[in-house]
Amino acid sequence: MDCSICSAMPFILRPPRNTICAACYEGARTIITLTTNKVDHVENTKGSDNKTITGLLSASSSNPSIKGFGNALKWVKEMKEMEEESKEKLNYLSGFVVALRDHIHTDILIKPGNDAPSIPAHRALLAARSDIFKNILDSDGCKAPPSNNTITLSELNYDELECLLEFLYSGDLAKEKVEKHVYSLSIAADKYEIPFLQKFCENQMLGSLNTSNALDVLEISDTCSNTSLKETALNFIVKNMEDIVFTARFDAFALKNPHLTVQITRASFIDIKNRRLTV
């Protein structure tokens, strides 16, 4: 149809220039609603493929707090300014990474497993990022501070430890590093109580969930007691049973995690039953 907003035809050739398509109408309504923090149910306009701008404006004016696109534009500008401010702040804060990389005034050594070399770090930063590290570093009357000025995280290898520290210092990690170490980082986030890293790993796992890694995600989410991630992984496995259960990976998984295998079987049974009921 000839829409005065998204149509490719020049607007000067388009009489009467006040008609918009259903998609633009929906989009405009949603933006205006979002602007006023009222992401209520936007009216369902399916079935009508033609709305007029006058209709859109009168729909807005039925709610006095919505002032159309003027408000929306103001809001977008404010968001843009906030984004710039956040970027500057982030740049400023990521200065900590330089202190890690260049070993500036480091005062503690973090040692990975397998006799790999230690990485110099900063007590204050570790204590600020994790209550567990704070406890380890605290030297009160009851316990001594770490011996040899070293904390050993034997469950992590050198690369994993390097990534953990980089995240603690910068709040971010390069995509290829997250992809490679997401499981060990997730377990570290759980063990050392670093909720932001936990969330970061969860997003990575949710975004890359597929038939070849779903069992790993289920196993990790169970280890870290992440119920929402576990539910998502379990549902995904149930929906893709055929591609998952006839693999060598499933054999190894079932031997190692009998309780999770029982949960998969039960969830699958319920799924089959529900599907039969709806047919």
Chain residues that interact with Zn ion, rule: CB under 5 A: 3, 5-6, 21, 24
User: Is residue 249 a contact partner of residue 218, using CB atoms and an 8 Å limit?
Assistant: no
Smallest distance from the beta carbon of 19 to Zn ion, in angstroms? 9
Amino acid at residue number 159? D
Backbone angles phi, psi at 109, to 5 degrees: -110, 135
| Tokens at 64, concatenated | 């006095």
User: Residue 21 or 245: which CB sits closer to Zn ion?
Assistant: 21
User: Residue 3 or 156: which CB sits closer to Zn ion?
Assistant: 3
Smallest distance from the beta carbon of 9 to Zn ion, in angstroms? 11
Q: At what angle do helices 158-170 and 175-191 cross, to 10 degrees?
A: 90
User: Is residue 232 a contact partner of residue 209, using CB atoms and an 8 Å limit?
Assistant: yes
Query: Using the 8-state DSSP alphabet, how is residue 32 labeled?
Result: H
User: Residue 8 or 277: which CB sits closer to Zn ion?
Assistant: 8
DSSP 47-81: T--EEEHHHHHHHHHTSTT--HHHHHHHHHHHHHH
Smallest distance from the beta carbon of 10 to Zn ion, in angstroms? 15
Smallest distance from the beta carbon of 61 to Zn ion, in angstroms? 21
Smallest distance from the beta carbon of 62 to Zn ion, in angstroms? 22
| Tokens at 146, concatenated | 């770490």
User: Residue 68 or 120: which CB sits closer to Zn ion?
Assistant: 68
* Residue 65 to residue 49: CA distance in whole angstroms: 27
* Residue 128 to residue 172: CA distance in whole angstroms: 16
* DSSP bridge partners of 51: 20
Torsion over CA: 91, 94, 95, 101 (sign)? negative
Smallest distance from the beta carbon of 25 to Zn ion, in angstroms? 8
User: Residue 21 or 197: which CB sits closer to Zn ion?
Assistant: 21
User: Residue 19 or 130: which CB sits closer to Zn ion?
Assistant: 19
